[in-house]
Amino acid sequence: MTHLGRYLETVDVHDQKFVGTIAFRNEELTLPDGSKLALGVDSGHWVMVYQEHPGAHFQISEYDQHSGKLSIDKRPGGEHELKAFKQRLRYFFEHARVSDLVTIMPPQAEEK
């Protein structure tokens, strides 16, 4: 089974025009550390929904790739939070298996 990171080696993840959502295909699936993560990306605006462990609060992070600004649960995030955001994203890319995920791309994104 291919890890998402290996699959994304052929994709430009810095593309600020990508639009889509990536999530686990069912509720039972997690990353190896037991966390769950879903991503929504819309033209350089990233939304990460993260749950550290079952029953934990879902944390919603929004990152604007154009301005470099991050907010966590609607509060401004600093350098420490940005580092944690990028670490979670990297962990997701390195450990999520393509076969465990679904990718949803809006029709207009697929047509381009």
Neighbours of 33 (CB within 10 A): 9
Q: Find the domain containing 98 and state its range.
A: 4-107
pLDDT at 88 > cutoff 90: yes
In a 3-state reduction of DSSP, which class is residue 99?
Answer: helix
Pick the closest to residue 65 from 36, 39, 43, 85 (CA basis): 43
pLDDT at 97 > cutoff 80: yes
Q: Say if strands 75-76 and 59-64 run parallel, antiparallel, or are unpaired.
A: unpaired
67 lies in a domain? yes
71 lies in a domain? yes
35 lies in a domain? yes
112 lies in a domain? no
pLDDT at 111 > cutoff 90: no
What is the per-residue pLDDT across 29-87, written as a single tens digit (0 to 9) for each? Answer: 999 999 999 999 888 899 999 999 999 999 999 999 889 899 999 999 999 999 999 99
92 lies in a domain? yes
